[in-house]
Structure 1
């Protein structure tokens, strides 16, 4: 964008940074610190829900920014998938980190 001077896809660029880098980096760091978050069916559902939603949404957003308004329902559907993926991760993080904390406190007693 900087070299060409074409900033017509600035919204896609911002979403790639937030959804593709920041959010996934947080998933990775928290998952590394608490490996139980990445285990089981719910974690698998979270992974696939998020990782299907992001590229579909980014592709559809690119088309929308290039003048194809008919892809807006696709953007909406993919955004819902991404939201579900984020909520699943939040649920996994809070429930499993709290669970592991209970194990630590009972082991200390």
Structure 2
């Protein structure tokens, strides 16, 4: 499996654990005010990361491109900015909304990077600069 797929899958599992923890916290406290953050953690962190990992696993030539690692870094940076700020904003910190918006824009930019990867030609160079070879 390509390294980028492993990274996306491992990151997805971390977000799954965080999403479950957020859900349990809401259930135990009886305060479900952060359900949008819970949903974002699960859908963007767990599901979307796993889908990205699956795409790269099925397309090893594209997975070997440097831009795939850029996609991973930008996407996860955006999530790390957005998700905690969203969670805290929903728990009574409205001043965090600009941080949530900034993280959202970073995530959106990373999705455009992924779109470029998907729609670009199969021929690619690997991170080492040598032609990428499908496994």
TM-score range, shorter chain: 0.7 to 0.9
Aligned to 1:26: 51
Aligned to 2:105: 80
How far apart are residue 16 of structure 1 and its match? 0.7
Aligned to 2:117: 92
Task: Could you tell me which runs of 5 or more consecutive residues in structure 1 were left unpaired when the two chains were aligned.
Answer: 101-109
Aligned to 2:88: 63
Bigger Rg, which one: 1
Where 1:2 maps in the other structure, the secondary structure is helix
Cα distance in 2, alignment partners of residues 10 and 19 from structure 1: 14
Task: Could you tell me which runs of 5 or more consecutive residues in structure 2 were left unpaired when the two chains were aligned.
Answer: 1-25, 124-135
Cα distance in 1, alignment partners of residues 63 and 86 from structure 2: 29
Higher helix share: 1
Cα distance in 1, alignment partners of residues 77 and 56 from structure 2: 19
Cα distance in 1, alignment partners of residues 75 and 113 from structure 2: 9
TM, length-normalised to structure 2: 0.66
How many residue pairs were aligned? 98
TM, length-normalised to structure 1: 0.81
Gap change, CA 1:4 and 1:66, over 3 Å in 2: closer
Aligned counterparts, 1:4-43, within 5 A:
4-43=29-68
Point out 4+ residue stretches in structure 1 off by more than 3 angstroms.
none
